[in-house]
Amino acid sequence: MFKKILISNRGDVAVRVLRACKEMDIKTVAVHSLVDETLMNVKFADESVCIGPNSPLESYLNVASILSAAELTGADALHPGVGFLSENEKFATLVSVNGVKFIGPDPKHLAMMGDKIVAKKTMAELGIPVVRGSNGEVKCVEEAIEVANDVGYPVLFKAASGGGGKGMKVANSQEEIPNAFKMAKIEAKANFGDDCVYMERYLASPRHIEIQVIADSYGNVVHLGERDCSIQRNHQKLMEESPSIALSAENREKIGDIVRKAIKKLGYVGVGTLEFLYENEEFFFMEMNTRLQVEHCVSEEVAGIDIVKEQIKIAAGEKLSFKQSDIRLTGHVIEFRINAEHPETFMPSPGRIDELYFPGGKGVRVDSHIYRDYVVPPYYDSLIAKIIIKGSDRSECIKKARCALDELAIDGIETTADLHRKLVRNQDIVDGKFDIHWLENNLKSL
């Protein structure tokens, strides 16, 4: 097992990884920007290194500085957390070259899933269901029209280097193709420096359902069920739950088996998530996240597995200690993302937290790095806490969530807590009647 892990991240996820390390008797190194010196993960870690100024480019994205910190402290492994460099193939390679174990998949799998066309083609070949569309890149308007006539309108243009929805354009008819194609290419170039686009049939009202997988280096692959992440705005998830109310036990088992077989054949090692659109009881692969995810806690609570500890064990060359048949998904879990943002406009709301009270009790988990008098800096992601609620069923979970969210008190800054208090009392949410567009369509009336 590793002796010392450097955690190249900040905030709640840095605290989360640190806790796993401590329980495993592994020494920890926190790295931080100037303003982050007062963070909880810095206080909890055995050692800490300042890696640069506040700008993410000069600190949490500063490869040279992070590698120096690893060398300086003699860390034998590095956990990248979520975001920042966690899916960067070049970073993962450089970490390894420096004799430090990168806690994540092989760089070749990071590269493969970073290219959405390659990812889709690979998954289709492995038996994963995908949306009908172009065979790779679409190079001109004539080709786009041919594809659209083949798969049927509406169609969607997507950026090959994309993800997160940027560079996506819908065309409802042939007349709309030239402009949609042109705009998709312009946005793709502007956002990713690559104007390569591809096409798919556009699904009008799907859910976002993702499958959590965990694979060791001996070919053992286990899935931990799904998470329904349909409640999102501007491609930022706000609420995630498991199990999905839309998925039957039969369809869960079917997609789980398909995913496990594919991941085994791929030779993927580590934790990962396959994101799907789900419409009319059919799954369509979108992308694969080759890292730990913010919402991993939802699966931890339904499956009773510590995903981060398993991730570290797998990186250290250990075998998974459980089989698929050992996994019992129990109860119902919902995660609420508390962001330092205005609950209606979603404008960032940095500043001092004057008063803080976290809810508690059975089935109430809070993953956070904030404390009273902590100043939320304006430079980073606005996530300040995750409230993860578990009930014996969905109805109990929602009731518990209402109580917990009412107990929660964060003063001094605006947060998304008020939005969540409304969501858990909304009839559509209670009935589970929503798709990926629900939140944006219902924000005004909430």
- Give yes or no: 394 in active site: no
- Selected binder of ligand MV4 within 10, 79, 208, 369 (CB under 6 A): 208
Backbone angles phi, psi at 48, to 5 degrees: -145, 150
Closer residue to ligand MV4 in complex, CB, 62/232: 232
Supply the DSSP string of 89-114, one letter for each residue.
HHHHHHHHHTT-EESSS-HHHHHHHH
CB 226 to ligand MV4: min, Å: 14
Tell me how far apart the alpha carbons of residues 267 and 14 are, in angstroms, rounded to a whole number: 28
Residue type, 192: F
- Selected binder of ligand MV4 within 67, 436, 438, 439 (CB under 6 A): 436
Closer residue to ligand MV4 in complex, CB, 73/230: 230
CB 164 to ligand MV4: min, Å: 6
Q: Quick one: which of 119, 115, 283, 260 has its CA closest to 210?
A: 283
CB 308 to ligand MV4: min, Å: 24
Determine how many CB atoms are found less than 10 A away from the CB of residue 378.
13
CB 304 to ligand MV4: min, Å: 27
Tell me how far apart the alpha carbons of residues 188 and 176 are, in angstroms, rounded to a whole number: 18
- Selected binder of ligand MV4 within 203, 209, 247, 338 (CB under 6 A): 203
Distance, first Cα to last Cα, the chain = 50
Tell me how far apart the alpha carbons of residues 56 and 376 are, in angstroms, rounded to a whole number: 15
Work out whether 269 is an interface residue with ligand MV4 (CB under 6 A). Answer: no
Q: Quick one: which of 206, 184, 210 has its CA closest to 197?
A: 184
Work out whether 232 is an interface residue with ligand MV4 (CB under 6 A). Answer: yes
Q: Which stretch binds ligand MV4 (CB under 6 A): 12-20, 27-35, 160-168, 330-338?
A: 160-168
CB 367 to ligand MV4: min, Å: 22
Work out whether 241 is an interface residue with ligand MV4 (CB under 6 A). Answer: no
Q: Quick one: which of 236, 286, 275 has its CA closest to 116?
A: 286
Q: Catalytic pick from 291, 328, 394, 425?
A: 291
- Selected binder of ligand MV4 within 5, 7, 21, 156 (CB under 6 A): 156
Work out whether 202 is an interface residue with ligand MV4 (CB under 6 A). Answer: yes
Q: Give the ranges where 167-304 is alpha helix by DSSP (H).
A: 177-192, 249-266, 296-303
- The contact set with ligand MV4 (CB under 6 A) reads 131, 156, 163-165, 200-203, 208, 232, 235, 277, 286-287, 436
- Catalytic (active-site) positions: 291
